[in-house]
Structure 1
Amino acid sequence: MIRMLLRVLGDQYAQPMRRTVALMTTTAIAEGLSYALLVPVLRALFGGNPADAWPWLIVFGAAVALYAALRYRSDLSGFRVGTTLLRGMYHRLGDHLARLPIGWYSAGRVGEVSVMASRGLLQAMGVAAHLLAPFITACVTPLTIVAVMLAVNWQMGLAALIAAPIIAAIQILTARSMAATDADSAERDHEATGRVIEYLQAQPVLRAGGRTVERFRLLDDALHELQRSSRRTVLSALPGAVGLTLTVQTMFTVLLVLGAYLALGGNIGAAEVLAILVLAARCADPLLSLTDIGGKLRGARSELARLDTVLRTKPLPEPREPIQPQRHDLEFESVTFRHGDHTVIDNVSLSVPQGTRLAVVGPSGAGKSTVLQLLARFYDVNAGSVRVGGVDVRAINTETLMAQIAIVFQDVYLFDGTIEDNVRLGRPDAGEAEVRAAATAARLDEVIERLPGGWATNVGEAGTRLSGGERQRVSIARALLKNAPVVLLDEVTSALDPVNEAAVHDGIERLMAGRTVVMVAHRLRTVQRADRIAFLDRGRIVEEGDHDELLRRSGRYAAFWKMSLTPAASE
């Protein structure tokens, strides 16, 4: 557990963690040794002159005060380290996630990372603040007390020591038996959480379709499975808890009987027997807490394992000697890209001279959006090369590459904040006049004027308080403010109403002016003004040319164009 925690933390935080563990271990030993002073105290109290106990009581009080000071320091260190680790791990996880390829983010993995970044990370990093000190105390303090027992009377100390391997075996067996149930419980928990979110998000559709009862049944099934899994977890933990309790009680009973036998035989005094029984009783509390602490540590260890798996995922490699592109032309040279066993792009070659526009069209699933993602290096190609300004994107530093490119997606994501905050993401250091000019060029000013809060209007999580067209205008204003020489457009008008489509087209035209552009579109009328059009099908370019040239060929593009002019296609 500690080794995994130190590996996940990395070298930067490992040393403070080691110091905290050492301090907590010293505190646990000091606690056990302070109880050793009960032996001379009880000897004096049961001796001929009870007043002789006063010096020992003073020493005992000083030892308890020293232990209290150490406990304060160790607990404070645990909280400080835990807080520092939590903040540091948020930064480390965020930086690592930002470097992972986009293909890593499957639908299931996004939910997993969401849970990990919230509850999971809190649980894992809470080990230092809340679990480490009790766990070390439960392990070290009883062993220290047993060492004191051995010093007082080796027979009774040995009897207490015999319980140590039994308790360790119980903990190991309990952890092994609960490993499967813990994993099943975590899976059921994620499934139930997903069902709850799905049920809430699908309310409009469910109510319109009158299928609320059915959805309740699906949610109930997931919650019942979670309940059954929780019951199995409790039942799996029960033998360990009962076994630990019986072992501790048996140890105490054996010590009581052995102490009485030795005292009656004159081999030990009554004061020593009483002191050892008091020490044994003090051992019981931390030992019995091992069941609860063990369960929490297993949960934290599972989260640490998931966090470790994510942090071990290799990001896209950065060049050792990055090259700065001097031009803004784009080129695919014999590019092949596979996603799993599926070939998405198959030996594609194309070029986009600086300042020109390339439109990529084709049926759904042809690989059009993948072309844009490869240009932005969201993935690395399996064969061939993608170049920006004549430089392979793998030889360009990520920050440099992203500074060269502005991307406008079909599905715009806005962060929970004001409209101005979201526009400024394009260039945070831009002046107010530049932000206002970008908004005007994107026709976002029309939206701002009719909103009560104006620029200070909060867009809500993911921009839910704005319509799709309004979100697109924010996205275009953001791209205009960035003022990058290369623009990538992905189906930006495919789901807009006529009014917003006209406004977005106006903003897009301003964004494309004088820049190198690659656009993907389903509505073919939006690509007529492109300098060149590439028709993509099953990952291959089957036709390439300008609009008029491709119509004259009467090939795949011409057929698509005719379909786009029919009433059904234009609706």
Structure 2
Amino acid sequence: MIRMLLRVLGNEYAGPVRRTVALMTTTAVVEGLSYALLVPVLRALFGGTPADARPWLIAFGTAVAVYAVLRYVSDVSGFRAGTTLLHGMYGRLGDHLARLPLGWYGPGRVGEVSVLAGRGVLQAMSVIAHLLGPLVSAAVTPLTIVAVMLAFDWRMGLAALVAVPLVAAIQLWTGRSMAAADAERAERDHQAAGRVIEYLQAQPVLRAGGRTTERFGLLDDALRGLERSSRRSTLSALPGIVGLTLTVQAVFTVLLVLGAYLTLGGDIGAAEMLTILVLAARCADPLLSLADIGGQVRSARAELTRLEAVLNTPPLPEPAQPVRPLRHDLEFDSVTFRHGDRTVLKDVSLSVPQGHRLAVVGPSGAGKSTLLQLLARFYDVDTGSVRIGAVDVRAINTEALMAQIAFVFQDVYLFDGTIEENVRLGRPDADEAAVRAAATAARLDEVIERLPNGWDTDVGEGGALLSGGERQRVSIARALLKDAPIVLLDEVTSALDPVNEAAVHDGIERLMAGRTVVMVAHRLRTVRRADRIAFLDHGRIVEEGEHDELLLRGGRYAEFWNASLTSTSP
């Protein structure tokens, strides 16, 4: 467990963890040894001169005081180490998540990362602060007491020593028998978290469909599955708990019978017998607590395993000697890309001269958005290459690549904050005049003027307090402020009303001016002014040319164009 914790956190945290473990182990040993002083204390009290117990009582009190101090210091050390590890874990997880390819963040990751970054990290890092001390005490203190019993009477000590392999075997068997149930419960927990998030996000759709009073079937199924897996996990733990309890009680009974036999036979005195029984009783409590502690440790270990799996997810490799492109023309050279078992793009070759506009059209699922994602290196291609200024994007470091590209997508995400803070994400060091100019160019100033708090208006989580068109204008203003030489547009106006669509088009035109642009659109009238149009179907380029040229060919693009005119005609 400790090795896994250090493996997840990194070697820089090994020192504090090892010192804390050593201190807790010393505390547990001192606790066990302090009980050894009960033998001379009780011997003197049951003897002819009870006053002889005074120095032993003083020694026992001193040992207890030393134990109390060590326990306080070890607990404080555990809490401090736990806090340090928690901070370090959040830092490492955040840094790693920021370096993972953006394509890794699929829909199923929302619930997984939410649970992992919240309760998962807290549970895993609570091992040092809350579980390690009781676990070490439950394991080391009874072993120390058994050693003390062996020193006073080897027969009683051997009888107590029998419990050690039995308890270890029960704990090992319980852990193995519960592994599948614990894994299923954790999986169900993540699924339920994802369904809860999905249910919250689906509220507009559910309410629009008049299903506000209905139960959400997918969420109900996930919660029922979580309930069933929790029940199975609890039932799986019962045999281990019962077995541990019976073993401890059986060993204590054996010690009681053996001690009575030896005392009646005159082999040991009544004081020694009473002391050994007190020691045996003191062993029982921490041993019985192992069942509960073991369950918590297994849960924490499972979270550590999931954390380790995420941290072991390789980020896209950074070039050892990065190259910065001097031009901004784009090229797809025989690109093939697979996502799982599906081939999304097959041998795609395209080029976009610097300052020109390429429009990519085609049916849903053809791979249009994937082209943009490969340009931004959300993923790496399987074969072929994607180049910016004749430089493969894999030879450009991430920071330099992102500086070259501005994104405007259909689904705009705004961070919880003010409008100005969200616009400044494009270029945090921009002066006020540049921010205002970008807002004006995106026609965001019209929105700001009618909002009661103007630039200081809070947009809410994800931009929920703004309309879709208003969020899109913020996104365009952000891209304008960034002033990147390459612009990627993905279905920017497909979900907007006519008024917002016109405003967004004005902003987009200003954004595209003088820049290299790749745009994806379903509304074909938005791509008429592109310098070149590529029709993508089933991952292949089936047609390519200018708008008028493609219409004259009467091919797939012409079919799509005529269909779009028909669908928009009154």
Q: TM-score of the superposition, structure 1-length normalised? A: 0.96
CA distance in 2, matches of 1:392, 1:204: 43
What letter is aligned with 2:125? M
Query: Are residues 1:541 and 2:536 paired?
Result: no
1:344–1:191: structure 2 CA closer, same or farther, 3 Å change rule? closer
| Deviation at residue 461 of structure 1 after TM alignment | 1.2
What letter is aligned with 2:175? A
Cα deviation 1:298-333 (Å, max 9, x = unaligned): 111111111111111111111111111111111111
CA distance in 2, matches of 1:205, 1:406: 31
Q: Is the 8 A contact 2:335 2:385 kept in 1?
A: yes
Aligned to 1:284: 284
| Deviation at residue 564 of structure 1 after TM alignment | 2.0
CA distance in 2, matches of 1:361, 1:68: 74
CA distance in 2, matches of 1:526, 1:82: 56
CA distance in 2, matches of 1:196, 1:496: 28
Aligned to 1:253: 253
What letter is aligned with 1:533? I
Aligned to 1:176: 176
Cα deviation 1:325-360 (Å, max 9, x = unaligned): 111111111111111222211111121121221111
Report SS of the residue matched to 2:321. coil
1:193–1:376: structure 2 CA closer, same or farther, 3 Å change rule? closer
Query: Are residues 1:528 and 2:532 paired?
Result: no
Q: Is the 8 A contact 1:189 1:226 kept in 2?
A: yes
Aligned to 2:156: 156
Aligned to 1:118: 118
Cα deviation 1:252-277 (Å, max 9, x = unaligned): 22111211211222211211111111
Cα deviation 1:213-242 (Å, max 9, x = unaligned): 763566555444433332222222111111
| Deviation at residue 384 of structure 1 after TM alignment | 1.0
Aligned to 1:145: 145
Q: Is the 8 A contact 2:329 2:353 kept in 1?
A: yes
Query: After the TM superposition, which of the residue ranges 100-109 and 522-531 deviates more from structure 2?
Result: 100-109
| Structure 2, gaps ≥5 residues long | none
CA distance in 2, matches of 1:544, 1:206: 41
CA distance in 1, matches of 2:208, 2:479: 38
- Pairwise mapping of residues 152-551 of structure 1 onto structure 2 (< 5 A)? 152-211=152-211, 215=215, 219-551=219-551
1:203–1:524: structure 2 CA closer, same or farther, 3 Å change rule? closer
| Deviation at residue 33 of structure 1 after TM alignment | 1.4
Report SS of the residue matched to 2:426. coil
1:8–1:218: structure 2 CA closer, same or farther, 3 Å change rule? closer
Aligned to 1:7: 7
What letter is aligned with 2:146? V
CA distance in 2, matches of 1:529, 1:552: 17
Query: Are residues 1:559 and 2:555 paired?
Result: no
Query: After the TM superposition, which of the residue ranges 381-390 and 432-441 deviates more from structure 2?
Result: 432-441
CA distance in 2, matches of 1:207, 1:489: 31
1:482–1:563: structure 2 CA closer, same or farther, 3 Å change rule? same
Report SS of the residue matched to 1:281. helix
CA distance in 1, matches of 2:357, 2:283: 77
CA distance in 1, matches of 2:162, 2:156: 10
CA distance in 2, matches of 1:242, 1:18: 33
CA distance in 1, matches of 2:221, 2:337: 41
CA distance in 2, matches of 1:353, 1:432: 33
1:565–1:218: structure 2 CA closer, same or farther, 3 Å change rule? closer
What letter is aligned with 2:491? E
| Structure 1, gaps ≥5 residues long | none
1:360–1:218: structure 2 CA closer, same or farther, 3 Å change rule? closer
Aligned to 1:81: 81
CA distance in 2, matches of 1:511, 1:199: 36
Q: Is the 8 A contact 2:112 2:193 kept in 1?
A: no
CA distance in 2, matches of 1:510, 1:223: 49
Identity rate, percent: 81
What letter is aligned with 2:60? F
Q: Is the 8 A contact 2:376 2:401 kept in 1?
A: yes
Query: After the TM superposition, which of the residue ranges 214-223 and 268-277 deviates more from structure 2?
Result: 214-223
Query: Are residues 1:61 and 2:72 paired?
Result: no
CA distance in 2, matches of 1:202, 1:340: 27
1:467–1:204: structure 2 CA closer, same or farther, 3 Å change rule? closer
What is the aligned-residue RMSD (CA, Å)?
1.8
1:202–1:518: structure 2 CA closer, same or farther, 3 Å change rule? closer
1:190–1:38: structure 2 CA closer, same or farther, 3 Å change rule? same
1:129–1:56: structure 2 CA closer, same or farther, 3 Å change rule? same
Cα deviation 1:499-548 (Å, max 9, x = unaligned): 11111111111111121111111111111222222221222222222222
| Deviation at residue 207 of structure 1 after TM alignment | 4.7
| Deviation at residue 374 of structure 1 after TM alignment | 0.6
Q: Is the 8 A contact 1:531 1:546 kept in 2?
A: yes
Aligned to 2:20: 20
| Deviation at residue 106 of structure 1 after TM alignment | 2.9
1:553–1:217: structure 2 CA closer, same or farther, 3 Å change rule? closer
CA distance in 2, matches of 1:334, 1:366: 16
Report SS of the residue matched to 2:162. helix
What letter is aligned with 1:349? S
Report SS of the residue matched to 1:322. coil
How many residues are matched?
A: 570
What letter is aligned with 1:542? V
CA distance in 2, matches of 1:465, 1:30: 61
1:364–1:296: structure 2 CA closer, same or farther, 3 Å change rule? same
CA distance in 2, matches of 1:188, 1:175: 19
1:219–1:24: structure 2 CA closer, same or farther, 3 Å change rule? same
CA distance in 2, matches of 1:370, 1:463: 25
1:188–1:91: structure 2 CA closer, same or farther, 3 Å change rule? same
CA distance in 2, matches of 1:217, 1:336: 39
Q: Is the 8 A contact 1:419 1:459 kept in 2?
A: yes
- Pairwise mapping of residues 22-41 of structure 1 onto structure 2 (< 5 A)? 22-41=22-41
What letter is aligned with 1:415? F
Report SS of the residue matched to 1:71. helix
What letter is aligned with 1:448? I
Q: Is the 8 A contact 1:329 1:390 kept in 2?
A: yes
CA distance in 1, matches of 2:249, 2:155: 18
Q: Is the 8 A contact 2:115 2:193 kept in 1?
A: no
Query: Are residues 1:109 and 2:76 paired?
Result: no
Q: TM-score of the superposition, structure 2-length normalised? A: 0.96
Q: Is the 8 A contact 1:199 1:215 kept in 2?
A: no
1:194–1:381: structure 2 CA closer, same or farther, 3 Å change rule? closer
Q: Is the 8 A contact 2:330 2:387 kept in 1?
A: yes
| Deviation at residue 555 of structure 1 after TM alignment | 2.3
